[in-house]
Structure 1
Amino acid sequence: MTDPSPADELRTAAARLRALATAATPGPWRQHDTHLGQYGHTATVLSGERNDTELRAWLPTMSQESWDETRNVWADAAYIAAMHPGIGLALADWLEHAAQQEAYTLAEWGHRGGGGPHALAVARTINQEQP
């Protein structure tokens, strides 16, 4: 069995990311501090605007303080919200473009590397391989 080409790795990652992003609830998303009464506060990720929101993720802390910085879940919630499906689709487009560049460079110049090492590192991480 031969190893996949860098262009194939990039395309595989783009397809995987696009499928995940398309299946998810469209963004943008935002983080929120949700009070659970006697159970304290927890970090949540919401979609929608104002009162028309839906819960996307719940990161339990059971902290009795709002935005308790000693627990990292608020930073995690902010990151999850920032990486909503729109970002995933943009990354998939970038990876697909890098795959096209990789294939072109190999076809025209006979060597690899046209897609760039950073795009390949991202693709391998998405494909769950070592960058």
Structure 2
Amino acid sequence: MTTPADELRTAAATLRVHAAAAAEDSGNTTWHTTRHFPDQPNTTYTTVWATDGKPLLRGGGGRGRPHPYVSAPVGDYIAAMDPAVGLALADWLDATAARLQQQAHPDWQDTVEPQALAVARAINGRQP
């Protein structure tokens, strides 16, 4: 039987794998966006960058070729959830699992943080 602590640790491990791979591929753990038309808040001409300046979306612009752009809200969200955030979330999930394991309370529902378990289950592919 899978315990809540197991679910938290599995999600933390998954986050670490994905965050490390994303950081290695992008060259940095922190990301940001550039809105090419800042006066248009929902423009699709927003580029997501690794902090060192490498664009995260591959491809080129120009006639007949796809542009490496996303909508501003999507780009801002991607940048906000960069690998640094993923690693911090993984640490939080592991710390929550450790506290839960130390308590050894027979009724885990009284001791687990419901938000941590909801995050873990979403990462693990379960409905919260």
- AA aligned to 2:50 is S
Q: How does 1:1-131 map to 2 (within 5 A)?
A: 2=1, 4-25=2-23, 26-34=28-36, 42-49=45-52, 53-57=53-57, 73-105=71-103, 107=104, 109-113=105-109, 114-131=111-128
| Cα contact 1:102–1:115 (8 A) shared by 2 | yes
* Larger radius of gyration between Structure 1 and Structure 2: 1
- AA aligned to 1:125 is A
| Cα contact 1:11–1:96 (8 A) shared by 2 | yes
SS in 1 for 2:95: helix
- AA aligned to 1:18 is R
- AA aligned to 2:71 is V
Q: Output the CA distance in 1 between the equivalents of 2:112 and 2:95.
A: 8
SS in 2 for 1:15: helix
**Aligned-residue CA RMSD (Å):** 2.2
| Cα contact 1:13–1:126 (8 A) shared by 2 | yes
Unaligned runs of 5+ in 2: 38-43, 59-69
Shift of 1:34: 4.7
Runs of 4+ in 1 over 3 A off after TM superposition: none
| Cα contact 1:100–1:115 (8 A) shared by 2 | no
**What percent identity do the matched residue pairs reach?**
42
Normalised by the size of structure 2, how large is the TM-score?
A: 0.74
Normalised by the size of structure 1, how large is the TM-score?
A: 0.73
